[in-house]
Chains A and B, each alone.
Chain A
Amino acid sequence: QQQVKQSPQSLIVQKGGISIINCAYENTAFDYFPWYQQFPGKGPALLIAIRPDVSEKKEGRFTISFNKSAKQFSLHIMDSQPGDSATYFCAASNPARGSNFGNEKLTFGTGTRLTIIP
């Protein structure tokens, strides 16, 4: 059972356009929602993250929108560039037993392959 559902599976956006990737979760114990970016042949890397006490977080061209009541969150990439072409994973975490911080145990979505065309 997929606890974090991600859509679309693939996305093609023209350079300069807005890329939007959506995720929905079921487990109300999740309290941390990061997005990871993965280039071919590499491991994922943290892009941006949000906690449920805010509805939006922006870092440069990347914005997370969060809707706690709907249990949904999304990634918006403004002015999309060819260098943004990668696979994007949303994730959610609930506390790991014995952890000092509680946000390391990640449940990932299935990924979105984003392609930015000139």
Chain B
Amino acid sequence: NAGVTQTPKFQVLKTGQSMTLQCAQDMNHEYMSWYRQDPGMGLRLIHYSVGAGITDQGEVPNGYNVSRSTTEDFPLRLLSAAPSQTSVYFCASSRQTGIYVTEAFFGQGTRLTVV
């Protein structure tokens, strides 16, 4: 049981390049989300999905696209990378683990540097 798998672990991009951060989970969770983590800012929600075919914007969606064609995969696309997108990106999937208890399972993160 791999949990949430993110690839790549590290990436350097030039300004203006595009790329896709991959995220896959094998726990059959309906809810998946992407966060970025910056020093002093905590984790901020970029986009989320409540099931295949359904996505919505989080707190900081500009410059990012997502799609959800299957339950397992939730890729994050950077359209035209900017230095402000230098960050550590975390993908998470969530499930209810008890009465009124929801647990988010995070991947190991992708450290992205835009130069």
The answer to whether B108 touches A43, judged by C-beta atoms less than 8 angstroms apart, is yes
The answer to whether B33 touches A97, judged by C-beta atoms less than 8 angstroms apart, is no
Q: Secondary structure of the B side of the interface?
A: strand
In the complex, residue of chain A having the shortest beta-carbon distance to the beta carbon of B101: A49
Distance between Cα atoms of A61 and B40 in the complex (Å):
27
The answer to whether B102 touches A110, judged by C-beta atoms less than 8 angstroms apart, is no
A32 within 8 A of B: yes
The answer to whether B45 touches A107, judged by C-beta atoms less than 8 angstroms apart, is yes
Distance between Cα atoms of A43 and B89 in the complex (Å):
10
Assess A105 versus B45: contact at CB under 8 Å? Given A46-B104, A93-B102, A97-B50.
yes
In the complex, residue of chain B having the shortest beta-carbon distance to the beta carbon of A9: B40
Distance between Cα atoms of A23 and B28 in the complex (Å):
32
Assess A104 versus B42: contact at CB under 8 Å? Given A32-B100, A41-B108.
no
The answer to whether B33 touches A104, judged by C-beta atoms less than 8 angstroms apart, is yes
Give the contact-size bracket for chain A. 20 to 34
Cβ–Cβ < 8 Å partners of B74 in chain A: none
Cβ–Cβ < 8 Å partners of A100 in chain B: 30, 50, 96
The answer to whether A42 touches B108, judged by C-beta atoms less than 8 angstroms apart, is yes
Cβ–Cβ < 8 Å partners of A98 in chain B: 50-51, 54
The answer to whether A44 touches B43, judged by C-beta atoms less than 8 angstroms apart, is yes
The answer to whether B100 touches A43, judged by C-beta atoms less than 8 angstroms apart, is no
Distance between Cα atoms of A6 and B54 in the complex (Å):
32
The answer to whether A43 touches B106, judged by C-beta atoms less than 8 angstroms apart, is yes
Distance between Cα atoms of A4 and B44 in the complex (Å):
11
Q: Which of B40, B103, B108 has the most CB of A within 10 A?
A: B103
Residues 51-86 of chain B, each 1 if its beta carbon lies under 8 Å from chain A, else 0: 100101011000000000000000000000000000
Residues on B facing A (Cβ under 8 Å): 4, 30-31, 33, 35, 40-45, 48, 50-51, 54, 56, 58-59, 90, 92, 94, 96, 100-104, 106-109
Q: Which 3 residue pairs of A and B lie closest in terms of their CB atoms, listed nearest first?
A: A43-B106, A103-B102, A104-B94
